């Protein structure tokens, strides 16, 4: 199972969402999970993981089983030997779950480790980084995902789910 994760921050906390799929090319989710957190750390530049990691852990804990691969909205690596949110997730989960990061905006220092992926006729790439999975394999998987647009359908879906879900089912 592949889990696509995203977090939406609110005045009263955050909603973490997971869209689960059997394969990279699935056109629709096999399942969806949300977790609401009322306590969220303040954003600190360079330490985004401190804010986002607890939210991601909350939603992963609600998945029916530990995913085989996790995809996060953002970077696994911020540069050579500079871990981002995605690089910290496997350790926080207590295992060796591969994590793929899909950045929508360019992060200059991460360009040295990120693989640009063009989709849907867009001239602006997605930036793919990974841990526990060869970066080229991760980039090809993102390239082949379902959907005609730059951002694949399942990544668009998890973004909408996180934005639209309310505090029902709070963690």
Look at the block and give the residue holding tokens 């977790």. Answer: 35
- Give the CATH number of the domain where residue 74 resides: 3.30.2170.10
In a domain, residue 170? The reply is: no
Q: Give tens-digit pLDDT for 126-162.
A: 999 999 999 999 999 999 999 999 999 999 999 999 9
User: What is the average pLDDT value for the chain, to the nearest integer?
Assistant: 90
pTM: 0.91
Among the listed residues 100, 93, 110, the one whose alpha carbon sits nearest the alpha carbon of residue 131: 100
Question: Does residue 27 lie in a domain region?
Answer: yes
Q: Which domain holds residue 41?
A: 2-164
User: What is the dihedral angle through the alpha carbons of 31, 32, 33, 36, rounded to the nearest 10 degrees?
Assistant: -170
Instruction: Decide if 84 is inside a domain.
Output: yes
Domain count, the chain: 1
Alpha-carbon distance of 26 to 28, in angstroms, equals 6
Residue 169 lies in a domain: no
Contact 13, 40 (CB under 8 A): yes
| Start-to-end C-alpha separation, the chain | 22
Over residues 89-101, the pLDDT tens digits come to 999 998 789 999 9
Residue 171 located in a structural domain: no
Q: Is residue 26 part of a domain?
A: yes
Q: Tell me whether residue 29 is in a domain.
A: yes
* Residue 45 domain flag: yes
């Amino acid at each position: 199972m592949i889990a696509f994760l995203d977090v939406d921050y609110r005045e009263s906390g955050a909603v973490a969402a997971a869209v689960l799929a059997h394969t990279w090319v699935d056109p629709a989710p096999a399942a969806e999970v949300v977790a609401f957190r009322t306590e969220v750390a303040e954003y600190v530049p360079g330490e985004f993981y401190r804010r986002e990691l607890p939210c991601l852990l909350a939603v992963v804990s609600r998945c029916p089983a530990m995913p085989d691969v996790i995809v996060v909205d953002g970077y696994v690596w911020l540069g050579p030997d500079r871990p981002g949110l995605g690089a910290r997730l496997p350790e926080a989960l207590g295992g060796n779950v591969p994590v793929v990061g899909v950045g929508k905006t360019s992060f200059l220092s991460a360009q040295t480790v990120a693989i640009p992926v063009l989709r849907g006729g867009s001239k602006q790439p997605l930036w793919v980084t990974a841990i526990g999975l060869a970066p080229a394999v991760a980039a090809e998987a993102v390239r082949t995902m379902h959907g005609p647009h730059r951002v694949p359908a399942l990544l668009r879906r998890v973004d909408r789910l996180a934005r639209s879900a309310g505090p029902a089912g709070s963690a």
